[in-house]
Structure 1
Amino acid sequence: MPYALKIALRYLTASKAQTALLVSGVAVGVFIFIFMSALIGGLAEFILSRTVGDISHVTIEAETPDPAILIRADGHVLAAVEPGGLRTATLRDAATWTPLIEAVPGVRAVSPQITGAGFVARGTQVAQVSVTGLEPGRESAILDLEGYIVAGSGRLGAGVVVLGRRLAEDLDLSVGQVLRLQSSNGVSAVLTLGGIFQTGTGVLDRASAFVSLPTARTLFALPQGITRIEIKLDDLNAADATAVRIRALTGLDAVPWTDGAEQLMEALNAQAQTGYFLKSFALITIVIGVASALLLSTYRRRPEIGIMRAMGAGRGFVVVVFVTQGALVGL
């Protein structure tokens, strides 16, 4: 055993109360630092999971065609097709794209959808809703529909609709009752309420209706194709890179969730910077506290230092002794 290590151990065992106090101080400091790091990191993860966990990380939507315009040779417009008169934009090769997207590394789930506006009617009560047609078996691919069900089932089949809890309460509906769902195209269908969900998000719980993909095709008069593809990733922080990869693979316009979420990203970055400063100050405080205690211990051992110096020990040896003592306390 090196002689400096032997002397450092003897100093530590000679004053057990002081050593115990030093070790306790270091342990408490390390615990506080780890606790703060976990708290700040966990808060960021919680915010992301609550805001992004139930939405698509990458979305592919069909491009809306430009209105057709008939122009005379002199530049005057003779006729134009109003946007409301255009057919719903669709992705016609969804069956081809879905397997390709699922094979992209990092992709957890893919959900082909048909979306649009509509109205839910129950007697004289009418409510405007956002209608989403999901593929049976993929109901919980993006939004954990099954996990949020509070009554009935989240399974979507022929003639079945799932509504949010607030919407069901507003229309005085319960599972098993019949309602009429009409799309913005004017097509309506009589459906049975198969389930009621509650996410805690007011917009979803009050204005969302989920039906099966075949039912949505009937409502929106889309015998083929879909309106969008939603993609969920294993790592939501990889959304930008994955969107670029999907664009290169399919040629479709893949949009990551970070587009349009600048305020959320700024808030998360500000929180990360604040957490960094807090952890830095905590670490500095811990280091100063431990260094002060070791400095006091060194000051109290001035007679021993004088004896070692008188016996021929150099300054380097004395420094090694007390640095070793501090390292042992830290370990």
Structure 2
Amino acid sequence: MRLAFSIALRFLKSSKGQTALIVLGIAIGVSVQIFIGSLITGLQKSLVDKTVGSASQITVESVTEGDYIQDSADKMVAIQKSNPDEIINLMAVAQGPAILKTPDDSTTIILRGFDWEDAEGIYKIKERLTTGNLGNNRNDIIVGQDLAEKLNVAVGDTIEMITPTGMKDNFLVTGIFDLQIKSLNESWILTNLNTAQTFLETNEGVSRIEMQVNDVFGADLVALDVERALNDETLTVTNWKIENAALLSGLSGQTASSLMIQVFVMISVVLGIASVLAISVVQKSRQIGILKAMGMHNQRASLVFLFQGVLLGILGAIAGVGLGVGLSWSFATFVVNADGTSVVPLYIDWYFIGISAGIAILASTLASLIPAIRVSKLDPMEVIKNG
């Protein structure tokens, strides 16, 4: 085996241009795999983060619209126990519609109340405040940036709100927030939980219980655990995958297209390696014939080309990993939005990169089987006779 390895190494060194060409082909194949895989994964994570990363991923609500969930604290304990490793950022929300009135205008809004600390994990309200601060006192509210501009409302202003049941009260604007979603900035007014419960007359109940999970794509399975733990027919449990079917379909399409591209790239690499090594058999047939005439067995002669395939695969995989990571970094660094942020954030998955490198080495080894089999069938006397 050592002799076969030494001969394989010598053959590669004697045809440096051919060796470099094969290594370059493998490196390009691996780099394309890594670049496309990282690009698609980064894009998917960015899309998911922008759509559901700052929103509830599993929601518990009353089956009957308008009813409130009583004993929410006990239910939240049961929810947390249903899957403690996955459930994070658990919070209770009291919300309802109201009419907001200012001296100049009026509009319909959604008043949402929750504990600021509990909500920080999901909505990151403190980071989203553009002016003012969170209101902890009774009837303190913060208003969306677009709504504030529309109604000409500023921090320190007092506004009036009226519920559909006729409940009326005045509220102090303590801050302006920007959730970076226009529809929410125009319709949401946020306050502390006690203020919302009092004004909406929920009798200490809450409208919904919201939560996030560690693995967003496993939210549907966690939702089943929550449903079993609550075991309450008056409550319904929904997850973001049900509510965002179109997004999931798009993500699945991206993944499928990415896999197809990677498969065809590797097929082309395999065919390229096989064809070049097959030519190498013809070029080295005289040397192989002499070695076989001197007593080298067919198996050992075949190992020469198998070792070439392995060595080429390793060299190509190493070069391809460096090139692929470099391409991914360059794309994330230089392809940016107007504000300087990356269009697609850099995402490096070393597990995926390792698999890509391993596939390249395996593909190169399999490609070398064709010339290896051909070598085993060479008749040494015929090769020497024909020169």
Assess same fold via TM > 0.5: yes
Q: Report what 2:55 is aligned to.
A: 55
Q: Report what 1:31 is aligned to.
A: 31
Q: Could you say what secondary structure the match of 1:303 adopts?
A: helix
Superimposed CA distance per residue, residues 251-291 of structure 1 (whole angstroms, 9 cap, x where no aligned partner): 24222222233222222222222222111112212222333
Instruction: Name which of structure 1's ranges 166-175 and 191-200 shifts more when overlaid on structure 2.
Output: 191-200
Q: Report what 1:263 is aligned to.
A: 246
Distance 2:264 2:165 in 1: 61
Q: Which runs of 5+ in 2 are unaligned?
A: 315-387
Query: Does the alignment pair 1:107 with 2:87?
Result: yes
Q: Report what 1:94 is aligned to.
A: 72
Cα distance change on mapping 1:94 and 1:31 into 2, 3 Å: same
Q: Report what 1:324 is aligned to.
A: 307
Q: Could you say what secondary structure the match of 1:59 adopts?
A: strand
Cα distance change on mapping 1:119 and 1:241 into 2, 3 Å: same
Contact 2:62 2:68 in 1 (8 A): yes
Select which of 213, 221, 231 maps to 2:201: 221
Question: What pairs with 1:1-331 in structure 2 (closer than 5 Å)?
Answer: 2-64=2-64, 88-103=66-81, 104-105=83-84, 106-154=86-134, 156-252=136-232, 253-331=236-314
Contact 1:139 1:146 in 2 (8 A): no
Q: Report what 2:346 is aligned to.
A: none
Distance 2:172 2:153 in 1: 10
Superimposed CA distance per residue, residues 108-149 of structure 1 (whole angstroms, 9 cap, x where no aligned partner): 111111111112222121121111111232232322222322
Cα distance change on mapping 1:305 and 1:139 into 2, 3 Å: same
Q: Report what 1:72 is aligned to.
A: none
Contact 1:102 1:109 in 2 (8 A): no
Aligned length: 309
Contact 1:161 1:194 in 2 (8 A): yes
Instruction: Name which of structure 1's ranges 22-31 and 120-129 shifts more when overlaid on structure 2.
Output: 22-31
Distance 1:239 1:220 in 2: 30
The answer to which structure has the higher helix fraction is 2
Distance 1:149 1:286 in 2: 52
Superimposed CA distance per residue, residues 18-51 of structure 1 (whole angstroms, 9 cap, x where no aligned partner): 3333333322321221111111222222222222
Contact 2:59 2:209 in 1 (8 A): yes
AA paired with 2:42? G
Contact 1:114 1:133 in 2 (8 A): yes
Contact 1:132 1:211 in 2 (8 A): yes
Distance 1:136 1:36 in 2: 40
Contact 1:136 1:155 in 2 (8 A): no
Scaled by the length of structure 2, the TM-score of the pair is 0.74
Distance 2:45 2:78 in 1: 30
Instruction: Name which of structure 1's ranges 147-156 and 29-38 shifts more when overlaid on structure 2.
Output: 147-156
